[in-house]
Structure 1
């Protein structure tokens, strides 16, 4: 009989770190709600969590940072989604899946998320911290989309955007769609199928910005499928591993363009 696998020291330390960050965040939320943000000190947050002041500063640089305990880890998970993207997934779809890690973070604790949302609406310093967190996701997704720009697909779509602008605007659109749905869900008390609402918002983003990016492969590689007319013959070139729906979509576009 095999022995049970013991968790590594690294994973145990990571879990302990996350638990302490969340305990400090809960203490901060409790004090902000009862005493007010300005009147609450770091020493009080640490004491409420049952730890020393220096422990607080091992996990957070300031009291406003304690309100957003999971963004660092969520950013890592979003990066992991991008790194493990399927070979033929549209990069914009990959980015949409990446930002879903943020929604999962909020949805894992609806009541706490609602309370945090109310607090950030009231305290300018917390709003600024929230904006800074959003900017980190936008930068991550912009870099990813820039690395998957497909010039041939871009020209075929007839887009007027240049490469950096398209990547930045598309990344911003994904994050904006996510935040719009998230805020609406939080204002409604954190109830309802928020992921279904998010998918509807992403469908709009895909229709608007879904062209110009190749499948998940280095920029500049040939599209999985291309089509052109030679006389009365429609010529299609596709990799053997190209998805059927992509091949059919390419053929349909060629017919409509040249028909």
Structure 2
């Protein structure tokens, strides 16, 4: 049996290396354009081999959007943790607060990343795919909040998809405003558009 401390140290090191490689990749993509930069270019800029880069990321898109996998898991966990008496729309909206907070922590980097994604068709498609992959867990969390067992009813999936669309639209408007508009207010407005007649 392996040493748990060693496994934890290895995991921490892997996470740090992934973060460093992603940062190098994003900077290179921002400077030279996503489509123009190859995996070999990123590896060279990071001082690693191409095979080392591919051990951490299966594609250029993953280097930019890999964090979205963890965000999807976190969103579902946050939704399950919302108060039981809260309506679905409020619970979904509050579940997205950590995303808003991440944009507020470093608005310059968040804006640059949002622009990079919007300017690259490949990144836009991959981002949509990743957000769509969050739907089953979010729908299940909503379904369980309302006391329904599997199979998940249609309504929770529709609500979860609408909430994610609200996030995408709010980020697009925030990016178009060059970060001048308040992202939380944009998200509130998007949710209000869903819930008001």
The Cα shift of 1:15 comes to 4.7
Partner of 1:133: 130
Q: In structure 2, the residue corresponding to 1:191 is in which secondary structure? A: coil
Partner of 1:54: 51
Are 2:136 and 1:147 equivalent residues in the alignment? no
Question: Which is higher, the Rg of structure 1 or of structure 2?
Answer: 1
Give yes or no for contact 2:79–2:142 (8 Å, CA) kept in 1: no
Q: Deviations over 1:136-161 (max 9, x none)?
A: 2333222222333468xxxxxxxxxx
Partner of 2:156: 167
Task: Normalising by structure 1, report the TM-score.
Answer: 0.62
Are 2:118 and 1:121 equivalent residues in the alignment? yes
Give yes or no for contact 1:74–1:101 (8 Å, CA) kept in 2: no
For structure 1, which runs of at least 5 residues remain unmatched after alignment? Answer: 1-7, 152-162, 209-259
Alignment of 1:61-140 (within 5 A): 61-140=58-137
Give yes or no for contact 1:75–1:137 (8 Å, CA) kept in 2: yes
The Cα shift of 1:66 comes to 0.9
Query: Matched residues in 2 for 1:190 and 1:122: separation?
Result: 16
Q: Structure 1 pair 78/17, CA: closer, same or farther in 2 (3 Å)?
A: farther
The Cα shift of 1:192 comes to 4.0
Aligned positions, number = 190
Give yes or no for contact 1:146–1:167 (8 Å, CA) kept in 2: yes
Give yes or no for contact 1:27–1:49 (8 Å, CA) kept in 2: yes
Alignment of 1:21-36 (within 5 A): 21-36=18-33
Q: Structure 1 pair 189/136, CA: closer, same or farther in 2 (3 Å)?
A: same
The Cα shift of 1:120 comes to 2.5
2:40 equivalent among 28, 37, 43: 43
1:186 equivalent among 171, 175, 186: 175
For structure 2, which runs of at least 5 residues remain unmatched after alignment? Answer: none
Moved more, 140-149 or 63-72: 140-149
Task: Normalising by structure 2, report the TM-score.
Answer: 0.78
Query: Matched residues in 1 for 2:9 and 2:193: separation?
Result: 41
The Cα shift of 1:135 comes to 0.6
Query: Matched residues in 1 for 2:196 and 2:154: separation?
Result: 17
Query: Matched residues in 1 for 2:118 and 2:183: separation?
Result: 21
Q: In structure 1, the residue corresponding to 2:83 is in which secondary structure? A: coil
Query: Matched residues in 1 for 2:100 and 2:133: separation?
Result: 15
Q: Structure 1 pair 118/149, CA: closer, same or farther in 2 (3 Å)?
A: same
Q: CA RMSD in A?
A: 2.8
